[in-house]
Amino acid sequence: MPELPEVQTTVNGLKKKVLNRAFVDVWTDTKKIIKKPKFSEFKKRIKNKKIKNIKRQGKNIILNLSGYYSLLIHLKMTGHLLYNNWQKDKMNSFIRVKFFLDNNKILALCDLRKFAKIELHKTPDLKLDLGPDPLDKSFTFSRFKKVLRKGRIKQVLMDQKVIAGIGNIYSDEILWQAKANPFKNTRELSEKELKNIYLAAKKILKKALKLGGTSVSDYRNVQGRKGSFEKELKVYRKQGQKCPRCTAVIKREKIGQRSCHFCPKCQKLNLKTIN
């Protein structure tokens, strides 16, 4: 699933391509992706709306439109947005929605598994229940400590109501960078461990954003190209390989319903006690 770096990379790309453009028409072969309103009404309302601003909230892309409307796009598991003459790639061939623009260009939603969602709201009515953004200047170490809830730190980092934008990839990488046990309860973490996690989150997310995100499978930017952070991954999907820091074998276990990749030596895990 695209996380903060991938979604922000998409937003940055869209700002260069579609800002101040207007929608002329829309097509879809997968109407269930248009969650609100039903497609026939959506098609009427979106017509001639001009894109005034584009921003990210957590993993959501928000296009503020003329007429006090906002278009919300959540890419979910396998979605990404493409702008006109995008690079040919197998993962860019699953086009589900096309927005036709007033410059005769196309903004398309590509989604292999058809889980993405698009909603059109009146701007004052669009309210998202999200935690603070980890790259916001106001996200200080003090605020980080205040928002943490009780639970295993890996799961807490991925809770969008606690911190917005972190998912499976970056929680694994952040905790490895911080040498933190992903199964440890937040209430058991020391001040030093918390500070290391906070600093690692800032460092990893900024670097991933600089490199255009991670494309381990299907993510592509608006030009249809892969992000480069995959080359920087230390533990995510590296089970069975040697830890680049200590050479212990990287492991993969489940936390809840999600996979967790970690170095048992660096992150001080007792594999007999994690479940």
Q: What is the 3-state secondary structure (H, E, C) of the chain?
A: CCCHHHHHHHHHHHHHHCCCCEEEEEEECCHHHEEECCHHHHHHHHCCCEEEEEEEECCEEEEEECCCEEEEEECCCCEEEEECCCCCCHHHCCEEEEEEECCCCEEEEEECCCCCEEEEEEHHHCCCCCCCCCCCCCCCHHHHHHHCCCCEHHHHHHCCCCCCCCCHHHHHHHHHHCCCCCCCEHHHCCHHHHHHHHHHHHHHHHHHHHCCCCCCCCCCCCCCCCCCHHHHCCCCCCCCCECCCCCCECEEEEECCEEEEECCCCCCCCCCCCC
Tell me if the bond preceding 37 is cis, omega within 30° of 0.
yes
**End-to-end CA separation in angstroms for the chain:** 25
> Hey, which residues are catalytic here?
2-3, 59, 258
